[in-house]
Amino acid sequence: MGKKTVAVVGLGLIGGSIAMALAGFEDYEIVGAVRSQSTYDFAVSHGVCDRVTMDAAQAVREADVVWLCLPPEAILDFLRDHRDDFKAGGVVTDVCGIKTAIVEGAKCLPDTVDFIGCHPMAGKEVSGVANADRDLFRGAHCILTPNDGNDPAHVALLERMARHMGFRDVVRATPEQHDAIIAYTSQVMHIMAVAVCDDPDLFSCKGFEGGSFRDCTRVAALDVPLWTQLFSLNAPALCRVIQTLEDNLRAYREAIASGDRAALAAKLEYSSQRKRQMNFDSPV
Amino acid sequence: MGKKTVAVVGLGLIGGSIAMALAGFEDYEIVGAVRSQSTYDFAVSHGVCDRVTMDAAQAVREADVVWLCLPPEAILDFLRDHRDDFKAGGVVTDVCGIKTAIVEGAKCLPDTVDFIGCHPMAGKEVSGVANADRDLFRGAHCILTPNDGNDPAHVALLERMARHMGFRDVVRATPEQHDAIIAYTSQVMHIMAVAVCDDPDLFSCKGFEGGSFRDCTRVAALDVPLWTQLFSLNAPALCRVIQTLEDNLRAYREAIASGDRAALAAKLEYSSQRKRQMNFDSPV
């Protein structure tokens, strides 16, 4: 019996980084499946994985583990198009930043294929295999959304892979919990960053930016097709979080406008203590 | 004739960092004026400046240049209390994050004393001389708010000091321009950070934070008395910027809720291109 195989479908920033970070994992061969010739050439010449192929169907047929590293809609399309190609007894996972729609889409798979949703919480403001980085996941959270039907051995295998890749920890949630929380911890941060850049004074503020401005707007230079899909697929939860933020901003605006400094100080004390408590609980 | 003297009044995070960063500036002796014994002891034992005194009045009497490194209201109090102590022919500056109220307050000084407002755009989420850092200003903007009545030689002197301290550049603005712009580039970033921490889901999101969440909320653990003063002294400009942000967030919420993906993509394209343009113009 030969080596086992992991297929990484899509060698973009995340897929390329996963393929590189998986190097040396147990007795698995890492196979990258790509569509473009330029990605193929880059991956081969830079040794991103053990083997690169442009035949994704064949790659998933042979793979004991499949990582789907494509944009959200492309993952859903791939699951439908290749439902009968996945190896019986294998496990399939993905890297999408929303999980309910993906886990729902994966119900098209045969019962012999085990799907477990995954969200590696890492990224960059640049895309493509040329920006892939074997250390991208160091210190980051890896979220899995297993359900009662999944094989515990498969969940354990993905956890070992995550640890090998350098993730700080592996957290479990239901797809619905994941999407509600991620609307707050990630999606609305991106909405804030782009909303700040819509201010008419953006370009006249050059020379007046501090660290807080650079940090907050860092993620505004986002991948538009990807984030259009992520926001749209999580619209109800995200809209609730944006509304809450609007309300909390208005409350600060009213406290500042009132001229009541004691009330403003009390409000700032409340919020900043929450942040300190958060730091205390989650040293990063 | 002996050395010239710079007095740094207040050796907190900013004053301590300025005193350290000024070490070796031309032929100036750096004198720190402090109020607490513990700050005095720390500054002496760690060599924060050439000399430390608890007699601020005497320090400013001897100083050719005075840096007022106190909280906003304390700067206004110091200017009033020591209006007759400042050395004739000397220059006085400050480090306050708002400028109109400070420049207005400095009008109490005699005509023989030249006041030029300054805002070093750097900071940390911790305070006190123990956190002072001679490299705090590396790569940061230094803003000066001179007026027609200031001695150009004094403006040039402060610019040389800023370059010596490692600032990336020295930018000039009127106090009113400064305050309007800083409401956007700094103050509202802090308001966003605290408003995000008011979300009821803050503590349940542990394990689900990514880099965008850590970056955006970094400044939420703020110095409450300091920021209460900064926000209150710039209330009208800040409230306008918060209102604009609320409007821009609502526009995103409505675009997401509408289900019109093409419209959302166009909106994200607009905002993200503005951010890329900003990065292109201001590589940091």
Confidence of residue B211 (pLDDT cuts 50, 70, 90): confident
> Would you state the pLDDT for residue B284?
42
Same domain assignment for residues B188 and B260: yes
Same domain assignment for residues B181 and B241: yes
Same domain assignment for residues A276 and A142: no
CB atoms under 10 Å from CB of B144, counted, come to 20
Put simply, the answer to whether B257 touches A250 (Cβ < 8 Å) is no
State CA B177 to chain mean position distance.
Answer: 15
Put simply, the answer to whether B219 touches A212 (Cβ < 8 Å) is yes
Show residues of chain B in contact with A224, CB under 8 Å: 265, 268-269, 272
* Residue B242, token pair as written in the block: 């918060």
- Domain span holding position A276: 177-281
Put simply, the answer to whether A275 touches B194 (Cβ < 8 Å) is yes
Per-residue pLDDT reduced to its tens digit, A183-205:
999 999 999 999 999 999 898 88
Per-residue pLDDT reduced to its tens digit, A235-266:
999 999 999 999 999 999 999 999 999 999 99
Q: For the sheet with B65-68, list strands across it.
A: B51-53, B28-33, B4-9, B65-68, B91-94, B114-115
Same domain assignment for residues B140 and B244: no
Confidence of residue B127 (pLDDT cuts 50, 70, 90): confident
* Residue B158, token pair as written in the block: 């402060």
Q: Kindly provide the ipTM of the predicted complex, given to two decimals.
A: 0.88
Same domain assignment for residues B37 and B161: yes
Put simply, the answer to whether B185 touches A209 (Cβ < 8 Å) is yes
Put simply, the answer to whether A272 touches B194 (Cβ < 8 Å) is yes
Put simply, the answer to whether B259 touches A215 (Cβ < 8 Å) is no
d(CA B221, CA A174): 31
Same domain assignment for residues B100 and B194: no
Confidence of residue B124 (pLDDT cuts 50, 70, 90): confident
Same domain assignment for residues B20 and B61: yes
Does the pLDDT at position B283 exceed 70? no
How far apart are the CA of B52 and the nearest CA of chain A, in angstroms? 30
Which residue, of A145, A173, A201, is where some domain finishes?
A173
At residue A232, φ and ψ (nearest 5 deg) are -65, -35
Same domain assignment for residues A133 and A239: no
Per-residue pLDDT reduced to its tens digit, B217-237:
999 999 999 999 999 999 999
Find residue A50's DSSP bridge partners. Answer: none
> Would you state the pLDDT for residue B282?
55
Show residues of chain A in contact with B205, CB under 8 Å: 181, 184-185
CATH number of the structural domain spanning residue B90: 3.40.50.720
Which residue, of A173, A203, A225, is where some domain finishes?
A173
Show residues of chain B in contact with A250, CB under 8 Å: 242, 246
How far apart are the CA of B91 and the nearest CA of chain A, in angstroms? 24
Same domain assignment for residues A134 and A197: no
Put simply, the answer to whether A205 touches B184 (Cβ < 8 Å) is yes
Which of B221, B244, B268 is nearest residue A227 as measured by Cβ atoms? B268
Closest residue in chain A to residue B195, using alpha carbons only: A248
Which residue, of B173, B196, B221, is where some domain finishes?
B173
Per-residue pLDDT reduced to its tens digit, B183-204:
999 999 999 999 999 999 898 8
Q: What is the pTM of this model?
A: 0.87
Per-residue pLDDT reduced to its tens digit, A11-51:
999 999 999 999 999 999 999 999 999 999 999 999 999 99
Closest residue in chain A to residue B282, using alpha carbons only: A206
Closest residue in chain A to residue B203, using alpha carbons only: A278
Per-residue pLDDT reduced to its tens digit, B134-188:
999 999 999 999 999 999 999 999 999 999 999 999 999 999 999 999 999 999 9
Confidence of residue B281 (pLDDT cuts 50, 70, 90): low
Same domain assignment for residues B199 and B76: no
Per-residue pLDDT reduced to its tens digit, A89-105:
999 999 999 999 999 99
Same domain assignment for residues B143 and B263: no
Which of B194, B200, B249 is nearest residue A242 as measured by Cβ atoms? B249
Put simply, the answer to whether A207 touches B143 (Cβ < 8 Å) is yes
Q: How many domains does chain A have?
A: 2
Which of B186, B188, B195 is nearest residue A245 as measured by Cβ atoms? B195
Closest residue in chain A to residue B200, using alpha carbons only: A244
Put simply, the answer to whether B169 touches A207 (Cβ < 8 Å) is yes
Length of chain A: 284
CB atoms under 10 Å from CB of A233, counted, come to 19
Which of A231, A251, A257 is nearest residue B256 as measured by Cβ atoms? A231
Same domain assignment for residues A183 and A150: no
At residue B117, φ and ψ (nearest 5 deg) are -70, 145
Task: Please give the helix or strand (H or E) that residue B142 lies within, else none.
Answer: strand B141-145
Which of A173, A184, A212 is nearest residue B186 as measured by Cβ atoms? A212
> Would you state the pLDDT for residue A284?
42
Per-residue pLDDT reduced to its tens digit, A107-159:
999 999 999 999 999 988 788 999 999 999 999 999 999 999 999 999 999 99
Extract the runs of DSSP E, i.e. beta strands, from chain B. 4-9, 28-33, 51-53, 65-68, 91-94, 114-115, 117-120, 141-145, 169-172
d(CA A115, CA A154): 9
